[in-house]
Structure 1
Amino acid sequence: MDVATLHRGTVDHWQRALAAVGPDDWGRSTPCAGWNVHDLVNHVVGEELWTVPLLEGATIEDVGDSFEGDLLGDPVTAARRASDAALAAVAAVDRYAPLGGMVHLSYGRENVEEYVLQLSADHLVHGWDLAVAVGADTHLAPELVLGVSTWFKEREHMYREAGVVAPRVEVTGDAQTMLLAAFGRDARWAAAV
């Protein structure tokens, strides 16, 4: 599966989880320590808003603080803004991923394919985080799990050393359970009621 197809699939997964968020869900806890549903969606929307300018060649300095703080506003606006940002990000990836090249990230220059794989992992895992937080379908498509797992296998130690992911959860299980564990998630997590 090419990276644009993987990205599109993970964004579709994210969008389905987002569609399940009800008006009373925004304050619910998530598997992400310290983040409620609003914080989680705000994080992913921020990533999506960065996608277009970075793929168009902007630097971190060019964008500045445009995508900091609360990007969502009220819940109705939040859902619409999140959906619009996801669609714009998909269109940008579809356009720029086949061209290759480099993007400017917070840690330096990175090739476009690697950046799109990072975005894909973020959408897939945070889509699960969102779905489990609001009681939606948490099943991840096996081809998406395989795509992200294959990419992350050689990077897990770097992400963990950088403190970007929580400690690995020691479990055994299917490919989805193992992917979640690699990203520091326990597939048995349940939102507090």
Structure 2
Amino acid sequence: MIAERYNARADAFEAKVANVEPEQWDDPSPCAEWTVRGVVDHVIDMHGVMVGRPIPRTGDPLADFREARRQVQAALDDPASATTEVPTPAGPMTVIDHIDQVLSDDMVLHGWDLARATGQDETIPDSDVRRLWDIATSLPAEIIEKARTPGGFGPGIEVYGPEVQVPDGASLQDRLLGYVGRDPMSKNL
């Protein structure tokens, strides 16, 4: 199930990367600190964190993402690697759980960032919206506060931004995005 979820999300993210126009790479994204390229670089970097080594870069974001994905898939396919326990900012967990709970979920939200920044379809699958909503809203208040604090889980790590209020009656996707610090109502980046 975890590998299938990762692959579905990686397929969706890869499709968005493939549809970025050459002139869009330096455009702003909903992540205030990152351009479109920065969002993709972050996701590639997170793949490297999962496999314990940096992903080599060629300068082609699509090729680099595919290589990152290949390396994570190799870790998922190797039972010894997948079940190895690793330290994380949230405490020790297996590589496969770390991929599922951090990287895979991250691709959903950053896929939305990429879509918003480049004019692609921003729809997140309902099953992903529900899963991420249930996870985010079930975290204890002290963890949410830590997640909203830049550097709360370590230097340079920012999990959520400040909550953005959305209108009453907003879709669950928009409520999720607002909860994690994105403004789904604004088209301005």
TM-score bracket for the superposition, by shorter chain length: 0.7 to 0.9
Q: Which runs of 5+ in 2 are unaligned?
A: 153-157
User: What is the match of residue 29 of structure 1?
Assistant: 28
3-state DSSP class of the match of 2:159?
coil
User: What is the match of residue 186 of structure 2?
Assistant: 189
- Deviation of residue 165 (structure 1)? 1.3
3-state DSSP class of the match of 1:24?
helix
User: What is the match of residue 84 of structure 1?
Assistant: 67
One-letter identity of the residue aligned with 1:169: V
The question of 1:117 aligning with 2:112 is answered no
- Deviation of residue 73 (structure 1)? 5.1
User: What is the match of residue 135 of structure 1?
Assistant: 119
Maintained 8 Å contact 1:149/1:179: yes
User: What is the match of residue 9 of structure 2?
Assistant: 10
* RMSD between superposed Cα atoms in Å: 2.6
Note closer, same or farther for the CA distance 1:98–1:51 as it changes in structure 2 (3 Å cut).
Answer: closer
Query: What number of residue pairs does the alignment pair up?
Result: 175
> Which protein has greater RCO, CA pairs closer than 8 Å, 6+ apart?
1
One-letter identity of the residue aligned with 1:143: S
The question of 1:159 aligning with 2:159 is answered no
- Deviation of residue 43 (structure 1)? 0.7
Maintained 8 Å contact 2:76/2:82: no
The question of 1:93 aligning with 2:92 is answered no
Note closer, same or farther for the CA distance 1:146–1:174 as it changes in structure 2 (3 Å cut).
Answer: same
- Aligned equivalents of 1:46 and 1:168: distance in 2? 25
Note closer, same or farther for the CA distance 1:88–1:98 as it changes in structure 2 (3 Å cut).
Answer: closer
| 1:33-65 alpha-carbon deviations (Å, 9 max, x no partner) | 121011111111111122233xxxxxxxxx4xx
Note closer, same or farther for the CA distance 1:111–1:88 as it changes in structure 2 (3 Å cut).
Answer: closer
- Deviation of residue 174 (structure 1)? 1.2
User: What is the match of residue 38 of structure 1?
Assistant: 37
Q: 1:179 aligns with which of 156, 176, 179?
A: 176
| 1:127-169 alpha-carbon deviations (Å, 9 max, x no partner) | 0000110111111111111222222222361422435311011
- Deviation of residue 101 (structure 1)? 4.8
One-letter identity of the residue aligned with 2:131: G
One-letter identity of the residue aligned with 1:123: M
- Aligned equivalents of 2:129 and 2:173: distance in 1? 6
After alignment, is 177-186 or 161-170 more displaced? 161-170
Maintained 8 Å contact 2:58/2:64: no
One-letter identity of the residue aligned with 2:25: W
- Aligned equivalents of 2:31 and 2:185: distance in 1? 14
Note closer, same or farther for the CA distance 1:98–1:153 as it changes in structure 2 (3 Å cut).
Answer: farther
TM-score (norm 2): 0.78
Q: Which runs of 5+ in 1 are unaligned?
A: 54-62
- Aligned equivalents of 2:80 and 2:111: distance in 1? 22
